[in-house]
Amino acid sequence: MHIEILVEDASGKKLLESLLPKLFGKQGEPHTWRVHGYKGIGRVPKNLNSSGDPAKRILLDQLPKLLRGYGKTPGIDAVVVVLDSDRRNCVDFLAELKALVAGCSPVPNTLFRIAIEEMEAWYFGDQQALMAAYPKAKIDVLQRYQQDSVCGTWEQLADAIYPGGSAAIKKAGWPLPGQVKYEWAEKIGPLLDLERNISPSFGKLRDGLRRLITEAA
């Protein structure tokens, strides 16, 4: 089967590119996929017929148009949308996303997966991989983290592994936050173990993707 995967930023794209071969096998044997990274999450537009501004590449702004297009495109067997919950209510957010898909004609086979609160939670879920990538990480900071909690996840990770912590990153300002998150995806992502990871939202991503290809078999 062929799967189109949408994610809100470059670091998320990098992370998924390292995870997907572990789930699907080698590209083209037999499954194929493409990962599309956007430049932010945005919000679902009130007017679902809106096409948004394609030049800005904001994921939720573009999503209604994208899903309508995928539903009409032959050869696309599934669409996977991976998002951070940030501080949204996950139940309400997921209901809003599913309503968006239901409004498409035809309806594309779509799987939504939401990281709680941010994808950096998935690195905390496999601290063995995290420590292998960053052996000097501050153990006390890692131990304070409550898995898949809304607590300023990326900031806690930065406090554990970045010189000067999150304060130094915020002081430097953009583009450093994006660069640091990309580096984490690059270094930790390939080391993540699919079965060892204790993040519930990571488990839902893993199991949902496995079901997609199992059902297609």
Long-range contacts of 141-144 (CB under 8 A, 24+ apart): none
Query: What type of residue is 109?
Result: N
Residue 200 has pLDDT above 90, yes or no: yes
pLDDT in tens, 57-97: 999 999 999 999 999 999 999 999 999 999 999 999 999 99
Sign of CA dihedral 108, 113, 118, 120: negative
Q: Tell me, rounded to whole angstroms, the distance of Cα 177 from its chain centroid.
A: 16
pLDDT tier for residue 48 given thresholds of 50, 70 and 90: low
∠ CA 95-101-106 to the nearest 5 degrees? 155
State the Cα–Cα distance between residues 45 and 62, nearest whole angstrom. Answer: 9
139: CB partners within 8 A, 6+ apart: none
**Who wins on pLDDT, 47 or 98?**
98
What pLDDT shows up at residue 52? 63
Q: Which CATH number fits domain 2-119+198-216: 3.40.1000, 3.30.310, 3.30.420, 3.40.50?
A: 3.40.50
- In the block, tokens 């930790």 appear at 188
> What are the domain boundaries of the chain?
2-119+198-216, 121-191
- Asked whether 9 and 40 are in contact (CB, 8 A), the reply is yes
- In the block, tokens 């044997």 appear at 29
pLDDT in tens, 155-172: 999 999 999 999 999 999
The share of the chain scoring above pLDDT 70, in percent, equals 96
State mean pLDDT over 44-51.
71
State mean pLDDT over 126-145.
98
pTM of the model as a whole = 0.95
